Amino acid sequence: MSIKGCAPGWVARCPKCPYQVDLESLGWTRIGAYSWGKRHSVHCPDCNRTRWMRILHVDENGEPDQPFGLVLRKVLGLQLLIWCGVLFVLALIAVVGMAVVKML
Protein backbone atom coordinates (compact mmCIF):
# COMPACT_ATOMS: atom_id res chain seq x y z
CA MET A 1 0.00 0.00 0.00
CA SER A 2 1.36 3.40 -0.87
CA ILE A 3 0.30 6.65 0.73
CA LYS A 4 0.87 9.90 -1.16
CA GLY A 5 3.50 12.10 0.46
CA CYS A 6 5.35 9.36 2.38
CA ALA A 7 8.54 9.61 0.34
CA PRO A 8 8.33 12.88 -1.61
CA GLY A 9 11.13 13.24 -4.16
CA TRP A 10 12.70 9.85 -3.40
CA VAL A 11 13.52 7.54 -6.31
CA ALA A 12 15.42 4.32 -6.98
CA ARG A 13 17.60 4.27 -10.12
CA CYS A 14 18.72 1.15 -11.92
CA PRO A 15 22.53 1.09 -12.37
CA LYS A 16 22.32 -0.80 -15.70
CA CYS A 17 19.46 0.96 -17.55
CA PRO A 18 17.54 4.27 -17.41
CA TYR A 19 14.73 2.78 -15.27
CA GLN A 20 13.72 4.93 -12.32
CA VAL A 21 10.92 4.27 -9.84
CA ASP A 22 9.19 6.53 -7.35
CA LEU A 23 9.76 5.07 -3.85
CA GLU A 24 6.20 6.07 -2.85
CA SER A 25 4.85 3.61 -5.41
CA LEU A 26 6.93 0.88 -3.68
CA GLY A 27 5.42 1.80 -0.31
CA TRP A 28 8.53 3.39 1.18
CA THR A 29 8.39 6.03 3.89
CA ARG A 30 11.20 8.60 3.85
CA ILE A 31 9.85 11.81 5.36
CA GLY A 32 12.60 14.24 6.37
CA ALA A 33 15.26 11.65 5.50
CA TYR A 34 18.82 12.40 4.38
CA SER A 35 21.18 9.91 2.80
CA TRP A 36 24.19 9.78 0.52
CA GLY A 37 25.32 6.71 -1.34
CA LYS A 38 22.40 4.59 -0.12
CA ARG A 39 21.59 1.46 -2.14
CA HIS A 40 18.83 -1.11 -1.91
CA SER A 41 17.79 -4.14 -3.91
CA VAL A 42 14.78 -3.26 -6.06
CA HIS A 43 13.27 -5.21 -8.94
CA CYS A 44 13.87 -3.61 -12.35
CA PRO A 45 11.10 -4.53 -14.83
CA ASP A 46 13.24 -3.36 -17.80
CA CYS A 47 16.19 -5.64 -16.91
CA ASN A 48 13.76 -8.22 -15.46
CA ARG A 49 16.17 -8.62 -12.53
CA THR A 50 16.55 -7.40 -8.98
CA ARG A 51 19.26 -4.75 -9.01
CA TRP A 52 21.23 -2.96 -6.29
CA MET A 53 19.66 0.43 -7.04
CA ARG A 54 20.79 3.86 -5.92
CA ILE A 55 18.32 5.55 -3.55
CA LEU A 56 18.28 9.26 -4.33
CA HIS A 57 16.35 12.36 -3.40
CA VAL A 58 15.74 14.42 -6.55
CA ASP A 59 14.51 17.95 -7.17
CA GLU A 60 11.74 18.91 -9.61
CA ASN A 61 14.22 18.58 -12.54
CA GLY A 62 15.12 15.00 -11.55
CA GLU A 63 18.61 15.99 -10.39
CA PRO A 64 19.96 14.61 -7.07
CA ASP A 65 19.76 17.41 -4.47
CA GLN A 66 21.42 15.88 -1.40
CA PRO A 67 25.20 16.28 -1.88
CA PHE A 68 27.66 14.61 0.52
CA GLY A 69 28.38 17.88 2.39
CA LEU A 70 24.70 18.48 3.18
CA VAL A 71 24.17 14.94 4.48
CA LEU A 72 27.39 15.15 6.54
CA ARG A 73 26.23 18.44 8.14
CA LYS A 74 22.82 16.92 8.98
CA VAL A 75 24.40 13.80 10.52
CA LEU A 76 26.98 15.78 12.54
CA GLY A 77 24.27 18.21 13.71
CA LEU A 78 22.15 15.32 14.95
CA GLN A 79 25.19 13.75 16.66
CA LEU A 80 25.92 17.08 18.38
CA LEU A 81 22.33 17.29 19.62
CA ILE A 82 22.42 13.70 20.98
CA TRP A 83 25.80 14.15 22.74
CA CYS A 84 24.75 17.50 24.25
CA GLY A 85 21.66 15.72 25.64
CA VAL A 86 23.81 12.91 27.08
CA LEU A 87 26.24 15.42 28.68
CA PHE A 88 23.31 17.40 30.12
CA VAL A 89 21.84 14.28 31.77
CA LEU A 90 25.27 13.28 33.14
CA ALA A 91 25.82 16.80 34.54
CA LEU A 92 22.36 16.69 36.15
CA ILE A 93 23.13 13.32 37.77
CA ALA A 94 26.47 14.70 39.05
CA VAL A 95 24.85 17.83 40.54
CA VAL A 96 22.08 15.82 42.22
CA GLY A 97 24.67 13.32 43.47
CA MET A 98 26.79 16.12 45.00
CA ALA A 99 23.72 17.59 46.71
CA VAL A 100 22.82 14.18 48.18
CA VAL A 101 26.43 13.65 49.40
CA LYS A 102 26.42 17.08 51.09
CA MET A 103 23.15 16.28 52.90
CA LEU A 104 24.60 13.09 54.43
Size of the site for Zn ion (CB under 5 A): 7
Q: Are the C-beta atoms of 8 and 24 separated by less than 8 Å?
A: yes
Q: Which among 20-28, 41-49, 64-72, 87-95 is the span making contact with Zn ion, rule CB under 5 A?
A: 41-49
Q: In angstroms, what is the minimal distance from the CB of 72 to Zn ion?
A: 30
State how far the Cα of 96 lies from the Cα of 86, in Å rounded to an integer.
16
C-beta of 41: minimal distance to Zn ion in Å? 12
**Binding residue for Zn ion (CB under 5 A) from 11, 14, 55, 56?**
14
CB-based contacts of 47, cutoff 8 Å, min separation 6: 14, 16, 17, 19
36 part of the interface to Zn ion, by CB under 5 A: no
Q: Which of 81, 19, 24, 104 lies closest to 9 in space, CA to CA?
A: 24
Binding site for Zn ion (CB under 5 A): 14, 16-17, 19, 44, 46-47
